[in-house]
Chain A
Amino acid sequence: MNFIKTIEEKGIEVLSLITAVAIWQIVADKVVHDTFLLPSFYDVMRAFFTIVKSGLIFTDILTSLLHFSIGIVAAFIIGIPLGISMGWFKKANQAIDPIIEILRPIPPLAWIPFAIVWFGLTHQAAGFVIFIGMIFPIIINTYTGFKSVPKVYVEAAKVLGCTRNIDLIRFIAIPSAMPSIVSGIRVAMGVGWMCLVAAEMFGVSDRGLGYQIWHYYYLHRMDVVLVYMLILGFMGLLIDRFFRYYVDAKLLRWTSGTVV
């Protein structure tokens, strides 16, 4: 019964995708007739295989992933401890919060000139822009998670002999705040992915998926542009899925699958 149900459901999804592709192909091929305005599905597939054969695509993917990793690692290393200390120590919050409130509304892309001035045309420059995009949701969700640790858990831990701040943070606050931290990371990943494309487009890099979109736009190769767009979409999806699968299975098992 369940098995049939799955097939039925998946069937609808697959059918819907096929239909969308078919409509796209027909509209592009029979109605628009212009690969610059709207490359057809066939054009895009051909462009895709050309790029794969040239090997270019792998350097681009790796470059973009490198930028993304630099951003996410930096945002983790700086954002999580900041959020933790703000959430746990009132003084730290009072000291850090005003600075964050001023910096946060600045759109990450506004940092691009400084990224270039400070880091040059390096991977770090692109990573920096992504870092800016990711750090605020991480700080804020870590902070919120820490703020909303139920008092009774902290007190239960205290009467069980867990009294030092460092232990309370490690054994009580972090696990209790984990769902909030994780959802912050998820939001951050979305923002970071957007920043990645923009940063590479606006010249912080001379390689990567975002850069190539702009590059091929100048060459009027809209079929290749579309290939890169689709790759960006798929990669974003993959990262999110991987993350979701891992986190649900390992870290948030105790929330009974109701959250997320």
Chain B
Amino acid sequence: MGRVNVKNVSRIFTKKEDNGSMEALHQVSFDVEDGEFICLLGPSGCGKTTLLRIIAGLETQTSGEITLNGVPITGPDPKRGMVFQQYSLFPWRTVIDNITFGLEMQGISKTEARKQVEKYIDLVGLEQFKSSYPYELSGGMQQRAAIARALANEPEVLLMDEPFGALDAQTRNILQDELLKIWEQKHVTFLFVTHSVDEAVVLSDKIVVMTARPGRIKEIVKVDLPRPRSRTSHEVNLLRDRVLKLLEEERFHR
């Protein structure tokens, strides 16, 4: 079960230098049903990463509440997996040892953990690279491994912060398709941050569009299109235009 409720969440950062303060998130509320695929979309600096980090438990909100299955979030927990915007594989561990990390932390022995994560390595197609170190991997493979590492903990919610942001368009498309396959196989709620409208339209059940700073919810767009979605069909184009317009308005507001 992975039902996330975000209620009136604000986050104000205080600046040390001039005692000033900056509001990154303002009264953000939305609900995510169990097993839903949600994309968070918004202009750069609108607080998408901040929101995701609060849900992950790496950051705290100034006010408001976030619950997972009704239980307030207080700190990091393996139930909420995260894939970061930057490359975050541990460079001193091989791919397989990165993926077993979460299980090892649960006290499962290394050999047993290796057996258990085999299927996740298959799932992301890294069988040949499981004994490689991260520096030997391409960017796309690193993010695949990071996804496998998050999945191995069998989280209820998977938080992804522009995981494909640093990749070329081709790799990006491939990984989006793979991600959808994983989502269909595993019963996991996905919260996916992106600033690519295309990505959001192809992936999500709902697109949460945010305003420019301070981030507020501008609109929640339902995507009622069957999967697999063609990237160029008429409906997809219409939806893309609609979301792009929303974002454009934000550009002029600033």
Contacts and interface: CB of A to CB of B under 8 A. Distances in A.
Interface string B34-63: 000000000000000000000011100000
A91 to B, nearest CB: 19
Contacts, number: 72
Nearest to A178: B92
A156 B82 contact: yes
Contacts of A161: 76-78, 102, 105-106, 153
B105 A159 contact: no
Interface string A147-188: 000001101111111110001000110011010000000000
Which DSSP category, helix, strand, loop or mixed, fits chain B's interface?
loop
A153 B134 CA distance: 13
Given A153-B90, A175-B92, A160 B84 contact: no
A256 interface: yes
Interface string B125-167: 0000000011110000000000001100100000000000000
B81 interface: yes
Interface residues of B, number: 28
B105 A160 contact: yes
Contacts of A90: none
Nearest to B149: A160
Contacts of A175: 90, 92-93
B72 interface: no
A3 interface: no
A159 B56 contact: yes
A167 B105 contact: yes
Contact of A159 (B82, B93, B106, B135): B82
A34 to B, nearest CB: 57
- Residue from A158, A175, A255, A256 with most neighbouring chain B CB atoms (10 Å): A158
A152 B78 CA distance: 16
A253 interface: yes
A254 B84 contact: no
A181 B77 CA distance: 31
B120 interface: no
Interface in B79-109: 80-82, 84, 86, 88, 90-93, 101-102, 105-106
A211 to B, nearest CB: 42
Contacts of A153: 88, 90
Given A152-B84, A152-B86, A254-B92, A162 B101 contact: yes
Nearest to B76: A158
A256 B136 CA distance: 8
Contacts of A160: 78, 81, 101-102, 105, 149-150, 153
A159 B92 contact: no
26 contacts: A152-B84, A153-B88, A155-B56, A155-B76, A155-B84, A156-B82, A156-B84, A158-B58, A159-B58, A159-B80, A159-B81, A160-B102, A160-B149, A160-B150, A160-B153, A161-B77, A161-B106, A162-B105, A163-B75, A163-B76, A175-B92, A176-B91, A178-B92, A253-B133, A254-B134, A254-B135
Given A155-B56, A157-B101, A161-B78, 18 more contacts: A152-B84, A152-B86, A153-B88, A155-B82, A155-B88, A157-B90, A159-B57, A159-B58, A159-B81, A159-B82, A161-B106, A161-B153, A163-B75, A172-B90, A176-B92, A178-B92, A254-B133, A254-B135
Interface of B: 56-58, 75-78, 80-82, 84, 86, 88, 90-93, 101-102, 105-106, 133-136, 149-150, 153
Query: Nearest 4 CB-CB pairs, A to B?
Result: A161-B78, A158-B76, A175-B92, A160-B102
